[in-house]
Amino acid sequence: MSGDLRDLIIKLSEAWHRERSDVAVGFKVDEERLRRQVEVAEEVMKSEDVIVLKAPTGFGKTEAWMAPFLYQWEIGEWFAPRMYIVEPVHALLRQMRDRVWVYVSALGRGSITVDEDHGELLRPTYLYSGVITLTTVDSLIYGYLAQRVYKPWKGVKKGYYTFPAGLLATSYIVFDEAHLIQDDAYLGPRIFGKVICDLASAGAKIVVSTATVSSAFLKYMDCGYRELDLLQGRRNVEVVWREKKIDPSDVDCGGLSLVIVNTIPRARELYKQIRRRCGEDKAWIIHSLMRRREREKALEMVKEAAKRRNGGVLVGTQAVEVGIDLDFDVLYTEASPLDSLVQRIGRVGRRGAGRAYIFDVESEAPYIKELVNATRELLREDAARLADWQWVKLAIEEVYNEDVVKLLASRGDELYGEALAYLSELSLFSYPPKRELRLRPSCYVVVSIAETDGKAASRSSLEDGMIKFSLPVSMRSILRGAKKDDMIKLSCEDLENSDLCRFVKLIKDNIYVPVRSLDNDKMELRQVHIEDCRSVERYSMLVVPRSAVFDYYDEAGLKVELIRGTVAGKKKSTTARRRKSKKVA
């Protein structure tokens, strides 16, 4: 079996190399890495335990967990009829789908269909997609827990609540980049651990693929699992700590460079400065408050520059930590928690030598202060050790120690209590509990900045224009949760002070919602008037005509600095007028 698996992994690796570079020249087999990939693939096929596969980005994890499923078609023996590739963020899905399709095409297996199912599709399939389905952690877990299911009769309380659980229990499921499920209340890892063990005990074959997951994360998986390491040794990356803020003059315009900062306003500011310095055709930006179409266009331009070796600079936020399978020459990044830095450094030195410069920050936001401070101290001691995989694994345990994890978990204990109550009441072949479960301590509101006249819009335009605003959820929102159909609904916290609310107030006369399908491509829209920001939660999507946001959106995405300043200015002016009127009175 080893020989056939070996050949299969080589074929997959070479096909993806050719896709990235347009040529097969330059592809070389790393025999030691290949040996470990074959060992991992064989262990996945024969093990009845959950497999926890650890390796840095760019070291062949994908081929190692993909090969076992595809190998079934080569030998005619089966352990799972379906495969789910589960990503923690939407940013990973499109590129992973392209990659899987390259693998399937290389084998000439047209019968293996590849599909997607997640929250950014207007036509969800509720996990009934292709032989290989790419989805998000949220979509899969909410489907398994009977919260995201097909409800065929409008107005009738009926849905196929148990079907997703049945599908998953007989499938091969890979949770890719699983460490990104972590949140600042450690809610995700706790619920994730319970669902993983439920699925494994029901018969699903599961791989948890990760670069930096800690033992504190894994302790919530109270079922049998095996840890496998794909890499031993160091990465070919020079890592340097800089005790200063990152400046545009620090960035080299000649090679292919990646700049990652921690906030969107900072990313927009640096992008504009680098664009002036390096040239308009040699600077790109990606962050979460950009329309999906602009994000994907920027990524395609970076890929083209990489293929042609033209050089350039991609500026981004956490949105580019994952999902970009490119080898940058140099990384310039702001300090962030250690697991985040490992992801960022994984963007360089993948197929040769690389350099990474880590710059200090004035504020730890949006990260947890304790995590950034602990990482900073390690970097000051010896930043070069970040290239040593064995040291990184030990350092992750130091940063995410038991005291820190307890502190994080205490912030989400009430939400976790609600989740446990939901899970205790959930049973097969019955309606789900009248509660709302959250995988993360946050909620999302989708806004589509679309090409529309306000009467109708095409599905493709709505999907291309999507921006997902993330907002926190706390126990306070549970306690005041609104009842709908006798179900306690959690509410987004602090909506009034969010960028979403500020944006909605500025364009409140140009907001629409999808009403119904007109045909296979178009959806009818209806105008809505939003006076109170909290009312946005009742809509699954808000639609804003592209023509209505010219003042608030540019090539670098939503002008968050203008939106915050404009609303703040209006509040200030209103307060001043009130004071003046009191004096007159």
C-alpha 491/C-alpha 476 separation (Å) is 9
Question: CA separation (Å) from 208 to 224, 325, 433, 439?
Answer: 13, 19, 28, 17
Give the per-residue pLDDT at 336. Answer: 95
Please provide residue 38's backbone torsions phi and psi, each rounded to the nearest 5 degrees.
-65, -45
pLDDT averaged over 10-residue windows placed end to end, the chain, 585 residues: 83 88 67 92 94 85 95 93 91 83 91 88 81 93 85 60 87 93 92 95 95 90 90 82 95 94 96 95 94 92 86 93 82 95 88 90 90 95 92 92 90 90 88 84 90 94 93 55 46 75 92 88 92 83 95 95 74 44 40
CATH number of 2-229, picked from 1.10.357.140, 3.10.129.10, 3.40.50.300, 1.20.1200.10 = 3.40.50.300
Considering only CA atoms, which of 552, 530, 411 is closest in space to residue 472?
A: 411
- For the domain spanning 237-387, the CATH number is 3.40.50.300
For 169, counting Cβ atoms within 10 Å of its Cβ (0-12 exposed, 13-18 middle, 19+ buried), the class is middle
What DSSP string runs through 69-122?
HHHHHHHT--S-S-EEEEESSGGGHHHHHHHHHHHHHHHT-TTS-EEEESTT-S
H or E element at residue 570: helix 560-584
User: Is residue 219 a contact partner of residue 397, using CB atoms and an 8 Å limit?
Assistant: no
Could you state, in order of their start, the residue ranges of all structural domains in the chain?
A: 2-229, 237-387, 441-565
Give the per-residue pLDDT at 541. Answer: 92
Give the per-residue pLDDT at 303. Answer: 87
pTM for the predicted model, two decimal places? 0.87
Q: Do domains 2-229 and 237-387 have the same CATH topology?
A: yes
Considering only CA atoms, which of 540, 465, 469, 480 is closest in space to residue 502?
A: 469
Give the per-residue pLDDT at 126. Answer: 82
C-alpha 167/C-alpha 109 separation (Å) is 22
